[in-house]
């Protein structure tokens, strides 16, 4: 009897009729001394167990960098100069965040689903450090978003995901040169009428290599040696520039 009840429960569970099958042009990014950024191609397909439904799907893709604490300052003019006055400290905010969609975000994703899955830029920040903020603190968070959007660290890429025959999708996301080392979770959501029907997550690994890796490790593990080496290089560079200038003057 118990076995029969268990089987009936299984039959009552909804089948996942549509699933994401994902691919990346690269799941590893190596930061070198000459790294100038990289375009990542995110592509995939929709796996189905039946015919394509009449109601169309949409695709939302997010790529997030490591989250770190951040303090947002407000400047005010005092005695003729601009000084920092008020501040709000967020526990963490993504160092990089991109959202790519097949259409306008508010058209392909409901506000409830956005809040539930922390998809939009503002919810990505609030989810990790700004939950329950006051109205004043929200304005600081919005200022942070504007600053990082200007730096291309936060990207809202609406209507950039191509979706062929409701089956194959693709988009390109530009990673800037000043990437923070770490894991970059990449999420893909299938939505229908604003509701998430399937999702998939993978990770892009961003790490320093070569001289960049050696200097980074040295600065963390041997800060005294790193400081002395930096000072010696600065002195040598200054002496070399001075010597070159004297030679040019004598010539």
Domains in the chain: boundaries: 15-208, 209-251
97 touches 118 (CB < 8 A) = no
C-alpha span between 179 and 166 (Å, rounded): 33
Report the run of H or E that residue 21 belongs to, with start and end.
strand 18-24
Q: What is the pLDDT of residue 15?
A: 47
pLDDT of residue 76: 59
CATH architecture of 15-208: Sandwich (2.60)
Q: What is the pLDDT along the chain (251 residues), one digit of tens a residue?
A: 434 443 344 334 344 578 888 777 767 777 666 677 888 899 999 988 888 888 999 999 999 999 888 877 666 566 556 555 567 777 778 999 999 999 999 999 999 999 999 999 988 886 444 444 566 667 778 888 898 999 999 999 999 999 998 999 999 999 888 888 889 999 999 999 999 999 999 998 887 654 555 455 545 556 666 566 667 777 776 776 776 667 666 65
What does DSSP assign to residue 111?
A: H
- The pTM of the full predicted model, rounded to 2 decimals, is 0.72
């Amino acid at each position: 009897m118990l076995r029969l009840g268990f089987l009936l429960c299984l039959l009552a569970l909804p089948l996942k009729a549509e699933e994401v099958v994902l691919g990346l042009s690269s799941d590893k990014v190596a930061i070198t001394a000459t790294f100038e950024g990289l375009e990542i191609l995110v592509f995939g397909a929709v796996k189905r167990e039946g015919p394509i439904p009449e109601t169309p799907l949409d695709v939302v893709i997010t790529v997030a960098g490591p989250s770190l604490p951040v303090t947002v300052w407000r400047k005010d003019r005092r005695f003729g100069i601009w000084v920092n006055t008020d501040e709000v400290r967020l526990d963490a905010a993504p160092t990089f965040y991109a959202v790519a969609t097949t259409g306008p975000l508010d058209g392909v994703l409901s506000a409830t689903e956005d809040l539930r899955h922390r998809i939009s830029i503002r919810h990505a920040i609030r989810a990790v450090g700004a939950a329950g903020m006051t109205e004043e603190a929200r304005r600081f968070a919005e200022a942070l978003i504007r600053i990082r959007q200007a730096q291309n660290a936060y990207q809202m890429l609406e209507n950039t995901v191509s979706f062929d025959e409701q089956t194959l999708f693709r988009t390109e996301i530009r990673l800037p040169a000043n990437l923070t080392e770490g894991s970059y979770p990449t999420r893909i959501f299938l939505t229908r009428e604003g509701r998430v029907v399937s999702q998939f997550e993978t990770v892009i690994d961003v790490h320093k290599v070569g001289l960049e890796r050696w200097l980074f490790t040295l600065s963390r593990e041997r800060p005294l040696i790193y400081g002395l080496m930096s000072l010696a290089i600065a002195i040598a560079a200054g002496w070399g520039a001075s010597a070159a200038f004297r030679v040019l003057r004598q010539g």
